[in-house]
Amino acid sequence: MSLLLISGSLRDGSTNTAMLRTAQALDPDTELFAGMGDLPHFSPDDDGDDLAAPVADLRAAVGRVDAILVCTPEYAGALPGAFKNLLEWLVGGGEAYRKPIAWINVSGPAAPSGGADAHDSLRKVVGYISMEIVEEACVRIPVARDAVGENGLVADPAIRERLAAALAALREGAARVETF
């Protein structure tokens, strides 16, 4: 079962992206989508047969995997704008329909809500796309910035163990979803 990993952050040194890079190191049957910053601003006028190459790449990546794992920060009480834009490009295509999805929250103790507003927004948007949320794989695994090594990965064995468990839960939950 293949997984697409999508970070909701464009920031260099993002703990969200570091967590997904770590997931990729733990699980070779994953693909980290790196084209979010290349996507044009969403417009329904541009969502037709002649898609911009970055949009076509996004939809192709979503279409070729069995499930998606997201790791996104909260910005100004909601999803970051670039990530929301990525999700809007998935509305018009059928690639995400009934696709299993889960998210990991890496917010540390300084964010007591744990990015709840962002994840509530994400839940609402993926509902419009008719994606299948794998609840048991939606977890909070706090990652401090200093937990990310120079190689861009999280080395802490306890965090890696929890991440591996979340990946396994996504795979198990996704296997139960009937896709069309």
**pLDDT tens per residue across span 15-65:** 999 999 999 999 999 999 999 999 999 999 999 889 999 999 999 999 999
Please tell me the least confidently modeled range out of 42-51, 71-80, 133-142, 144-153: 71-80
* Local structure of 22: helix, strand or coil: helix
Spell out the alpha helix ranges (H) of the chain: 15-26, 53-64, 81-91, 116-128, 157-176
Contact 23, 163 (CB under 8 A): yes
pLDDT band at 5, cuts 50/70/90?
Answer: very high
The terminus-to-terminus CA distance of the chain in angstroms comes to 16
C-alpha pair distances (Å), 87 with each of 50, 125, 176: 19, 7, 24
* Dihedral class, residue 6 (left if φ above 0, else alpha if ψ from -120 to 50, else beta): beta
CATH code given to domain 3-176: 3.40.50.360
Distance CA 83, CA 6 (A): 9
Helices (H), 34-139: 53-64, 81-91, 116-128
Q: Under a CB-based contact definition with an 8 Å cutoff, are residues 89 and 128 in contact? A: no
Angstrom distance (rounded) from CA 131 to CA 125:
9
Average pLDDT, the chain: 93
Reported pTM: 0.94
Asked if 2 and 9 count as a contact pair (C-beta separation under 8 A), the reply is no
